Amino acid sequence: MKTRLCLVALLLFSLIAWGADSAPLFSALLAGQPVPKEFRIINLPRVAKNSFALVADAGKTVLRIDSDDSAGSIEIPIGLEAAGDGSGGRSSILEWRWKVSRIIEKADMDDKAGDDHPARVFVFFDVPLDTLPFVERNKIRLARLVSGLNVPTAALCYVWDNKHRVGYTAWSPYTRRERKIVLQSGPASAGQWMSEARDVAADFRQAFGIEAPAVIGLAIGSDTDNTNERVSTWFGDISFRK
């Protein structure tokens, strides 16, 4: 069975950018230029790679992701002060806009075999390791040992789904350290830009039942490797509200 995007993102997400200055927003870049190295692409082993490009859309530069029986995500580096620490002392409102060419017909977010989405936004958190259940704590310790990275201990994953109602939430079929939240659903809005604003601290509290710890990572992506379908996805600027 193929390794899934959410798990590999958790395993491979290095935190070297967090604490550094924010990278430019997509709209500040030139369409056609290579994606800057600050936006680190995260691919899956033994899975075809998504393609990423900066393109023009209605006079603004946006990021386009093409997924064709493939998967991959891209790190969005921002400073920790912009992200907020979940304590309420800083803003935790995450804003972005996204567009998809189509939904993934055969997807099923509740089933490992159908766990594909045309668009995902990951927010990673640093829950203290010693507060986790024994089995989960040791899984993360093993992942950190194998990868040599500070693997996040929890994640929210905002998705564009094919059939579940907006607001539907569920654990990833692969791990209870990731909660998925449906923000867009069905074909009605395909081809249209949709804007989002989420209080990630509140979403984390509802998902995990505890106060949100520090936000330590952000990534966006698309995956069609389970359903063998094809989709194009566009992301506009994504940032935490100052």
**Between 222 and 147, residue with greater pLDDT:** 222
**Tokens 């958190």 map to which residue?**
125
Q: How many CB atoms lie within 10 A of CB 242?
A: 9
Average pLDDT, integer, range 16-37: 77
Please, what is the average pLDDT of the chain? 85
User: Is pLDDT at 9 greater than 70 in this prediction?
Assistant: no
User: Is pLDDT at 18 greater than 70 in this prediction?
Assistant: no
**What DSSP letter does each residue of 121-159 carry, written as one string?**
EEEEE---GGGS-HHHHHHHHHHHHHH-S---SEEEEEE
pLDDT in tens, 54-90: 999 999 999 999 999 999 999 998 765 445 455 444 5
pTM of the model: 0.87
Looking up residue 57, the CATH number of its domain turns out to be 2.60.120
Amino acid at 50: N
pLDDT at 8: 44
pLDDT at 127: 86
- Residue 154 neighbours by CB under 8 Å, 6+ apart: 124, 125, 127, 177, 178, 204, 208, 213
**Between 20 and 155, residue with greater pLDDT:** 155
Please give the residue range of the domain that contains residue 220. Answer: 5-240
pLDDT at 80: 54
Tally the domains of the chain.
1
pLDDT in tens, 114-172: 889 999 999 999 888 888 888 888 888 887 787 666 677 899 999 999 999 999 999 98
Average pLDDT, integer, range 91-110: 92
Tokens in use for 59?
Answer: 């006079």
